Chain A
């Protein structure tokens, strides 16, 4: 969209300067994209070609061997399954509980609203690392150490505030008049919400869920600290490529690709939608 406005503003005299900007832009593209490209490039190279001191920008022999090898290392499917379970459950709880709270702070005037908003924002600011010690001790006491349920509980610490704050952004974008109109037409307040607001909110909820899912999926520190080797999640699984005999970089890049590509695609799908919620609420975990 901004592309078209840029095009209309282009005058012949500016053509030359535009070339300069474009070249600079391409430089940014190459620099920002290179690490991702290098992962893909290495993932499809035969191992011998990957560890060439004179590397090539394209794989000369295209191979899927690295992916085969990566699937054999550690407990790939188990760790994927655990990551999926934890992320899905966390998002479900987060959306259910977060939606109610987001409704409260965006649709109601009540005493203490500001304090609640400050509270929800403030907890987002507590670094996860600072919490790791008491969380570890807490789960230890509760017998939840090395259990998926324990991990789910801890992930709520960062998913929930994020969910509330972004959903708030989406709810605010639904005009209140729509609700009021439905109530004039005889809907109850709950009815008006369910029939009018909820459908309009659906895309925002999907975006928030996906985004929350990605955050939970990507979490590393808690997954490392609170789960044993037998119950590791996908992010921790990646460390299996490094042993005392060295690092198997080519399969590692294949493993990284398998972990990253689905996430990046999900991310691409909701990114635009999230930008709206982010500029209203601005959160990234």
Chain B
């Protein structure tokens, strides 16, 4: 990035030039003039503070993450008793050769995928529902959604922990009111499948509002004429949704789904706090697993290797997201 910075600074100013020879990002759209003049040095000067800060706070740690994962780095290296030595791919072969790691990967992917699908489907259903309810119901739903969206994650976790408490949790009581159900004193966290389901419920509860509100904003942009036309052509509600609404919302949906994947793959405090800071092996997701390796076992390099593998796993998803965001960035 710094190389680009120095080279571009030397490009002569493209003042009032509709076809900047220096090459704006859009050679194909000469009519669309983004800048109102000024040299190429100006934007870089404006960007400089931001890029410098990011390079320091993000660039350096990222590089360190990569180097760490190729080193042996534990307690002695942390305190400076021993120099960190390069161990090549050892950390990766260790991690990848560990069956435990693959269990964690599968668990994380299943967890994230289910959470994302649930979030997206529920979000879409509620967004569509908001279009059909009366004004006062809409206001009520919006208040509840914004309140749960704004809830600090740690507070939300705390509330769920309380609601799912085995002895005094309101949920066991509520469920036991149903005929034929008695879950009094049931501990939801003894079985990790149930426990992770509770955690997923918490994640989805916190994530749905953002999806609903963004999709609602998108839905207002779907032209009513198009829906009417489709209806006149004999399309049912599902047909209209499938062939008119969905294609128009697709960019927003892709963006939301990608963000959800990133957030749900990165779920950490939800598991960490729910399990009192010591998640059991069958509760480990990639994030907590990496944390455990680094700070519980004090093997910082293996922790880094796992973190790096997580990032790589996400990269594929990010590529899709990037394309979408660039499109949005271009529509101005």
Residues of A within 8 A of B (CB): 2-4, 6-7, 18, 21-22, 24-26, 28-29, 32-33, 35-36, 38-39, 42, 50-55, 93, 96-98, 100-101, 103-123, 125-135, 137-138, 140, 153-154, 156-157, 160-161, 164, 168, 172, 176, 179-180, 183, 189, 214, 217-218, 220-221, 225, 235-236, 238-239, 242, 247, 249, 252-253, 256, 259-260, 263-264, 266-268, 271, 275, 278-284
A252 neighbours in B (Cβ, 8 Å)? 158, 162
Q: With A130-B290, A134-B65 known to touch, is A107 a contact of B36 (CB < 8 Å)? A: yes
Residue in A36, A42, A160, A172 whose CB lies within 8 Å of B50: A160
B220 touches A2 (CB 8 A): yes
A260 touches B152 (CB 8 A): yes
Per the 8 Å Cβ criterion, residues 54-101 of B in contact with A are: 54, 56-58, 60-62, 64-65, 68, 78
Q: With A106-B332, A109-B35, A110-B43 known to touch, is A127 a contact of B65 (CB < 8 Å)? A: no
Of all chain B residues, which has the CB nearest A17? B132
In the bound complex, CA of A217 to CA of B210 (Å): 19
Q: With A22-B134, A130-B290, A138-B64 known to touch, is A101 a contact of B49 (CB < 8 Å)? A: yes
Residue in A97, A122, A135, A279 whose CB lies within 8 Å of B61: A135
Is there a chain A Cβ closer than 8 Å to B269's Cβ?
A: yes
Q: With A97-B53, A267-B150, A279-B218 known to touch, is A25 a contact of B144 (CB < 8 Å)? A: no
6 pairs of A and B residues whose beta carbons are closest in the complex: A3-B135, A267-B150, A33-B144, A101-B50, A109-B24, A134-B64
Is there a chain A Cβ closer than 8 Å to B126's Cβ?
A: yes
Contact indicator per residue, chain B 307-329, by CB within 8 Å of chain A (1) or not (0) = 11011001000100110011011
B163 neighbours in A (Cβ, 8 Å)? 35, 38
B53 neighbours in A (Cβ, 8 Å)? 93, 97, 156, 160
A110 neighbours in B (Cβ, 8 Å)? 8, 11, 22, 24, 35, 40, 43-44
B61 touches A138 (CB 8 A): yes
Of all chain A residues, which has the CB nearest B122? A28
A127 touches B311 (CB 8 A): yes
Is there a chain A Cβ closer than 8 Å to B170's Cβ?
A: yes
A18 touches B268 (CB 8 A): no
In the bound complex, CA of A157 to CA of B139 (Å): 35
B129 touches A263 (CB 8 A): no
A253 neighbours in B (Cβ, 8 Å)? 158-159, 162
Is there a chain A Cβ closer than 8 Å to B229's Cβ?
A: no
Is there a chain A Cβ closer than 8 Å to B235's Cβ?
A: no
Residue in A29, A172, A263 whose CB lies within 8 Å of B137: A29
B135 touches A53 (CB 8 A): no
